[in-house]
Each structure stands twice: as structure tokens, then as C-alpha cells.
Amino acid sequence: MLRCFAFLLLLFLSLKFQAQTTIPLYEKGKIPNARPTALRDSAAWFPMGQRDSILLTLRVVEPKLSIYLPEKKHATGMGVIICPGGGYAVLAINWEGHSFAKKLQAQGIAAFVLEYRLPNAELFDQKQFAPLQDAQRALQIVRENARKWGLKSDKIGIMGSSAGGHLAATAGTHFDKAYIPNPGNINLRPDFMVLNYPVISFADSLTHGGSRSKLIGDANGQIPEAEKILFSNELQVNAQTPPTFITHAVDDDAVPVQNSLLFMAALHQHRVPVASFFYARGGHGYADDNPFAALEWMDAAVAWMRALFV
């Protein structure tokens, strides 16, 4: 009987520890850049080769933020907004979102999984800015609620994988312009970035074509030159770009590793602190568990985050 009680207590504590709250990013009827629609959010499970099925968000009309707060006695005061990837076509919401959040939470780092709007010309007036607006709104919300959630407002970072890495890097290089209402003049600059096999460049020779086309391609499939430059984030780096941790597999055949190398070179040029963790093997989309490696990048990333604020 005692053993059964102990098991139930541990189960309760585990569920309490991993529990999260999901909140809307915007008040109803106040989503910027949105056109009226009867469509709703949608998601589905898809098989993923040798691995378990993966939950993909297929459409986001009402963006959300899922909140994972650590136990107070282990809290570091840091918070990370997580942008899942999916080529700006879907969101790998569990694979590159909630699984990351639980690992960060276990390390005393608050995590916020961002279910951002996917660019769609039928739903938004300027589809190319909808994901960035949601990333900025997430930063705004987290900083506005920092004290309530036990966070330090100057220890708020952003993390992203693949196209989510592009969004995170965009938030970290375009923070000087608010794409959302910001009457309180909340700081929209992330304090640090963690980029996992990120899409960085929209240059023809380097980019992930699907991500670029989804974000900035026009109705005729053409890529406007001005927006190609604007969203090539290696060209937007300056001395105020946040410190960055970047990880990639050299054998990535979907998003070439040169994306990360080019971004690192730009950061070095502007004397922005940068740390890297490269895999010889891993391909694309290994999330937080590369089956070809004994060491995991997230352990190195957490150590790097902690060291930033010593």
C-alpha cells in the first residue's frame, strides 16, 4: 500500500512538473495583419520512418504560446521562446517544440513553445511578416510577465530549428523595428539565440527553397529581390545582434551547413559572441536526439546559456 502511494505521489509530481498552460498571443479580434476567415487551426499525426509518428500543425489562424515553468527551487530566471520548424508550411510542434521545452524545464529554464502563423496570402495582408509578428509578440508577452513567471527580463532568448531557426534569427536581426503594436515600448530584442540546423540565407545557392518560397514567394512563384535580401539574415547582422549558439550537421542535405557557417562569419565580423556544435553525421531534422552521436547539442547549449549570465 505504501509503495503504491509513493508511486502515485511521484506520478502526480511528474505530471505537475511537466504541466503547461497554453495562452493566445493576441486578444480576440486583434490579431495584426489578419484577414477575416472562417478557417480554424488544424493539426494531424504523420508517420516518420523508423521513429514515432509526429504531430504537425497544418494551419495556424490563432497563434498560441505554451508555457513550461520550472520548479521555483531550480529556476534560473532564464526563459526561451521555441520556434518549431516545418519549412514555413507546417510546424513540427512536438518534435521541435514541446520535447525541447520539457528538457529546458528540467534544467530550470522556462520554455515557451510558439505556435506561430504560417505564411498564407489568403489569410494575411503581408504573409511574410506574420511569423515575425508572432515571434515579437511572444517576446513582448514573456517580458511583460517576467516577474509573475519568475524570470529576469534581461535573460529572455529565442530558439528555433530549420525554418523555425530562420524565424528565430529574423527576430534576432530585425528587432529594431516593431511589426506589432508596442505602446509600452517593450524590448523586442532577444537576449540570446539558439539556432538548430537553421535556414539563414535566402540566396539561391544556399537557401532551403521551400521555406523561401512559402515565406516570400509571390502568387506567380517569383522571389522579390528586395525581400530576398531582407530575409537573408546573414546580411542583417550588426554589433547589436544577440549572442548566438548554433548547431548543424555537416551532412545536412536539406539545409546546407553553409547557412550556419555564413551566419557565424557575420557574427564574428561584428564581434558578436558565438558558440557552435557541429555533427559529422545527423542529416536534417534530428531535433534534440541525434542517433549518430553520443553527445547531444542541447546539453552544450544549456551550458552555454548558463555561462552567458555568470
What CATH number is attached to the domain comprising 141?
3.40.50.1820
Alpha helices in 114-252 (DSSP H): 130-144, 163-173, 209-216, 225-230
**Do 234 and 266 meet the contact criterion of CB atoms below 8 Å apart?**
yes
Identity (one letter) of the amino acid at 98? H
The reply to whether 232 falls in a domain is: yes
How would you class 73 by CB atoms within 10 Å of its CB: exposed for 0-12, middle for 13-18, buried for 19 or more?
Answer: exposed
Give the E-state strand segments of the chain in sequence order.
21-24, 42-48, 51-59, 64-68, 79-83, 110-115, 156-161, 193-196, 244-249, 274-279
Beta bridge partners of 304: none
How many domains is the chain partitioned into structurally? 1
- Looking at the DSSP assignment, which residues form a beta bridge with residue 157? 80
**pLDDT single digits (tens) 174-223:** 999 999 999 999 999 999 999 999 999 999 988 998 999 999 998 888 99
Share above pLDDT 70 across residues of the chain, in percent, rounded to a whole number = 93
Q: What is the pLDDT of residues 10-32, one digit of tens each?
A: 344 444 445 579 999 999 889 99
Are 274 and 244 in contact by the 8 Å Cβ rule? The answer is yes
Whose grid coordinates read 511569423?
131
Q: Is residue 22 part of a domain?
A: no
Whether the CB-CB separation of 283 and 90 falls below 8 Å is answered with: no
Does residue 154 form part of some domain? yes
Per-residue cell: 148: 509573475
Predicted TM-score (pTM) of this structure:
0.92
Sign of CA dihedral 301, 237, 134, 221: negative
33-49: average pLDDT: 89
Expressed as residue numbers, the domain containing 200 is 45-308
- Only one residue has cell 530576398, namely 228
Q: What length does the chain have?
A: 310
Q: CA–CA separation, 261 vs 267, rounded Å?
A: 10
Phi-psi region of 150 (alpha: psi -120 to 50; beta: other; left: phi over 0): left
Q: Is residue 120 part of a domain?
A: yes
Torsion angles phi and psi, residue 286, rounded to 5: -75, -5
Does 133 reside within a domain?
yes
Residue 289 lies in a domain: yes
pLDDT in tens, 133-165: 999 999 999 999 999 999 999 999 999 999 999
Per-residue pLDDT tens over the stretch 223-240: 999 999 999 999 999 999
Q: Is residue 270 a part of any domain in this protein?
A: yes
**Phi, psi (deg, nearest 5) at residue 199:** -75, 125
* Residue 225 domain flag: yes
Determine the 3-state secondary structure of 242 from DSSP: coil
For residue 169, give the amino acid letter.
A
CB 283 within 8 A of CB 275: no
